[in-house]
Amino acid sequence: MDDCMIAEGPYFDELGVGQVFDAAPGLTLSSGLAQAHRSIIGERLMLPLDDVLSTAVTGTAGLASPGLVWDVAIGQSTVATHHVKANLFYRGLVFHRAPVLGDTLRTRTEVVALRQNQPREGRRSTGLAALRITTSDQNGRPVLDFWRCAMLPTRDPDARTGHADDLDSVGVTSEHAPLARVADGWDLEPLRRHGPGFDDLVEGQCIEVGGGDVVSSAPELARLTLNVAKVHHDAEAAGGTRLVYGGHTIGLAFAQVTRALPGIATVTGWHGCDHVGPVHEGDTLRSTITVERLEPLRAGGLAHLRSRVAAGSGQERRDVLDWRFAALVP
């Protein structure tokens, strides 16, 4: 068996700026997929749950959850990061349209920057790969795009690639106008009675979500969303204990947001998302939400929110997520 080839993704020293990965399977958003995703995440966003309400607000039934869409896009991008050790950040995620059930998502992942980490004695060499991820539907219409930064090992443990790109500016933009375009033509009035509404929010307001959510079915969520990163499936690859897919942590955080602010119409984009600590299956996650900025629109507005998530309880809590995003509120 020694002459068998290994089916695997690239290591850091096998990546080059401009390299494109676009061979991940497309995935059709079905009601079964949506229900399975919801059973793991527990999201309560109203429009994907209620076809009557979705039709009244958006003009169509079967709206797909934005959380399902970004999980699929991230999962499809992992063909480039099979050997990932950690995801450091997501930045600049913007929805260009809101998919509905029956749409098929396809994702293109491009390497836009590379930086090798300083070598550490006794440890395998690693590097950071910044990826531009763009997702479209079956008609080629853009759905969302964003940047992700993954840490990967080198195949050659002593590799010196010379990659030293600046990652601080990757995905950083001051352009906020596109964030509201995904909901052009929506009528938010039917959502107002579910409150609190945009006018009820105050900049600086802090909301602590009562109760936590346990992380369960972690490998199942990774499989569901086509995520092939070894650390989410193989304990040996993760150093002894599987790591939970970052989208799982974000999904549970969003479930807590939708409990605190049930009238949210959708998430229109992310400013940034940092994984500040590892999450494992069985952890209980708790979140605190801060209203950082309010941006009035012709109807309702964008609430720019910050969700900080901790795992554990009591004195044993540890920070695991710092997520800034924009939510459309009637």
Report the C-alpha gap between 32 and 16 in whole angstroms: 38
Q: Which one of 3.80.10.10, 3.30.1490.190, 1.10.760.10, 3.10.129.10 gives the CATH number of domain 12-159+179-329?
A: 3.10.129.10
Domain boundaries of the chain, sorted by first residue: 12-159+179-329
pTM, to two decimals: 0.94
Residue 10 identity (one-letter amino acid): P
Which position has the higher pLDDT, 119 or 265? 265
Q: Tokens 């939400």, residue? A: 289
Average pLDDT over residues 215-226: 96
The residues, ordered by sequence, that sit 6+ positions from 293 with a Cβ below 8 Å of its Cβ are: 203, 303, 304
The residues, ordered by sequence, that sit 6+ positions from 175 with a Cβ below 8 Å of its Cβ are: none
For the chain, the helix, strand and coil percentages under 3-state DSSP, each to the nearest 5? 25, 30, 45
* Candidate ranges 103-112, 157-166, 307-316; pick with highest mean pLDDT: 103-112
| CB neighbours of residue 162 within 10 Å | 7
Determine what percent of the chain is predicted with pLDDT higher than 70: 98
State the pLDDT confidence band at 173, using cuts at 50, 70 and 90: low
End-to-end CA separation in angstroms for the chain: 61
Q: Which residues pair with 306 in a beta bridge?
A: 290, 324
State the pLDDT confidence band at 262, using cuts at 50, 70 and 90: very high
Q: Give, in degrees to the nearest 5, the angle at Cα 178 between 298 and 94.
A: 125
Average pLDDT over residues 324-328: 97
Average pLDDT over residues 33-49: 96
Ranges 117-126, 137-146, 156-165: which has the least confidence: 117-126
State the pLDDT confidence band at 174, using cuts at 50, 70 and 90: low
